[in-house]
Amino acid sequence: MPINTTDRTIDTIDRATDRANGQELSWQETALCAQAGPEFFFPAPGSSTREAKQLCGACEGRVACLEYALTHDERFGVWGGLSEKERHRLKHGSR
């Protein structure tokens, strides 16, 4: 039977999307920040991120959340216990 390249490509993309969505959902389902307001994790410039980071420290999905933020280049807010500056330093090295 000949292989239909288009169907195979679409099937591969579908499986990759399902896998990615499943991974994202698994950590988002236990996200402690879902119980806090968005201003808590997206504080105004110059505001403290200490409380958000403390909540992240107790979150089961912290590592996956941080990986997601680094992979998707999330620029704003606290993700996985790190501020945008801390994620930038982690990704690009400290200067």
* Annotated binding residues for [4Fe-4S] cluster: 33, 56, 59, 65
Is residue 33 a contact residue for ligand SF4 (CB under 6 A)?
A: yes
Scanning 1-9, 16-24, 53-61, 85-93 for contacts with ligand SF4 by CB under 6 A, the matching segment is 53-61
SS3 88: helix
**Which one of residues 13, 47, 71, 80 is an interface residue with ligand SF4 (CB under 6 A)?**
80
Is residue 43 a contact residue for ligand SF4 (CB under 6 A)?
A: no
Token representation of residue 16: 């990759």
**Which one of residues 43, 56, 82, 87 is an interface residue with ligand SF4 (CB under 6 A)?**
56
Got the DSSP string for 22-33? HHHHHHHTT-GG
Is residue 65 a contact residue for ligand SF4 (CB under 6 A)?
A: yes
Neighbour-count burial for 50-70, b at 16+ CB within 10 Å, e otherwise: eebbebbeebebbebbbebbb
